[in-house]
Amino acid sequence: MDRTNTRRVVITGLGMLTPLGNTVDKNWQSLCKGESGIGPVTRFDTSECRTKIAGEVKDFEPANFMEKKTARRASRFIQFSAAAARMALEDARLTIDSTNAERTGVAVATAMGGIDSFEKSHKLVMDGQREKVSPFFIPSYICNLAAGEVAIQFGAKGPLMCSVTACAAGTHSIGEAYRVIKYGDADAMVAGGTEAALSPVLFAGLDSLKVMSTRNNDPTKASRPFDKERDGFICGEGAGMLVLEELGAARARGARIYAEVLGYGNNCDAYHITSPESDGLGAAQCMNRAIKDAGLTINDIDNINAHGTSTLINDQTETRAIKRLFGERAKQIPVTANKSMLGHLWGGAGAVESIVSILTIVHGIIPPTINLENPDPDCDLDYVPQVARKAQVKTVLSNSFGFGGTNGCLIFGKYDIQ
């Protein structure tokens, strides 16, 4: 296989569900209005937790997206991925059948997998009820089953992939799917990320790390990327799925094209298990890899969709990384943080933020970073505070950084027919 070819990869379908809504349109409208999806946790008892708020997906009925029998045995992260994949395929008007199944693949990322299924089964064992552990426990828990379920439901027989790279997983999933198509190993990929990790054990672990916000009495103000008054991030759940296609195949079937995937970068700080390298070197190098892969320069980037977690170290490090790479131009580039409204969707974050990046190009609107009321003096870029902004955006750089020092960056561009 010739790895130096110039096959172009475009986006033809989008699907997402988040704390702001269960459709792409609802999410986009809410993001542009600067609405928050953060509220009190309802899924479990938080009385012993410091943090009692999160970004929960609401009014989700899995039977609307899959057979009831399948929905009953699938854990929540699998349900989310199947639902978002169905939305994306329907949006793309792409049917997978005998003519294209072997050239259509699936790549679904997650950080935690079926942690809810694990907790339930673990409790049964600890309570002396081993016989009640479901035979579907393992298939509902292991991370690659989200991708597997999507492939099975829709009959995709091409490459099957699962990135498990913490908070960068969704971005890596889309980036690797882009490469699979670019290298000629598939003509279409259903790719994205999913997470349903809101659970007592997760909260206990994060409580001990003391990294979550405790602004329990004012949840919509709790996620505050780049703001001096931030006190931690907010956990969220949800999924984002995209249909990526080789340009020629998409045009041959008359597909609507949202945008083009121009570049992808992937590297590691090799520094610390939870903290990024404070000088931003690794993140800057990853952004630069994506720009070089796209054949662009720093002057070509119109907007940055930031990782923007609302933690001191991450916000300051990402700001340093942007300034390190872009120099004087850094302050001219609008930077936006979707997590201010959604919370942090872990393995689903990069995929959801990729969709927002694409819609920014399509609609010419940059969603705001809400709750940015008292900027951190060390975070001195243009973060599009509080109110969405109309702008001509041809290229967006979307950043994701995760535990273990893993970094992922994607560049999306306005589709040019040339």
Residue range 199-211: average pLDDT?
Answer: 93
Q: What average pLDDT score do residues 99-120 get?
A: 96
Half-sphere exposure of 355 (CA within 13 A, CB side): 32
Of the pLDDT bands very low, low, confident and very high (cuts 50, 70, 90), residue 400 is very high
* 384, pLDDT greater than 70: yes
pLDDT at 376: 98
Q: List, for residues 341-364, the tens digit of each pLDDT value.
A: 999 999 999 999 999 999 999 999
pLDDT band (50, 70, 90) for residue 418 = low
Give the contacts of 361 (CB within 8 A, at least 6 positions apart): 258, 259, 393, 394, 395, 396, 412, 413, 414
* Among candidate residues 396, 288, 379, 283, the one with its CA nearest the CA of residue 331: 379
The answer to whether the CB of 82 falls within 8 A of the CB of 90 is: no
Residue that has been written with the tokens 């379908």 in this structure: 13
Confidence at residue 2, expressed as pLDDT on a 0 to 100 scale: 42
pLDDT band, residue 417 (cuts 50/70/90): confident
pLDDT at position 3 over 50: no
Taking domain 263-413, whether its CATH number is 3.40.47.10 is answered by yes
**CATH tag, 10-252:** 3.40.47.10
Q: For the chain, where do the domains classified as CATH 3.40.47.10 start and end?
A: 10-252, 263-413
Residues 375-380 have a mean pLDDT of 98
Give the least confident one: 122-136, 171-185, 248-262, 281-295.
122-136
**Residue (of 77, 83, 277) closest to 194 by Cα position:** 77
Q: What gap in Å lies between CA 89 and CA 315, rounded to an integer?
A: 35
Token look-up 């035979």 returns 135
Read off the pTM: 0.97
| Average pLDDT of the segment spanning 365-393 | 98
Question: Catalytic residue numbers?
Answer: 167, 307, 344
Over residues 62-74, the mean pLDDT reads 92
Shortest CA distance to 330 belongs to which of 340, 341, 339, 321? 321
Of 176, 171, 184, which Cα lies nearest the Cα of 160? 176
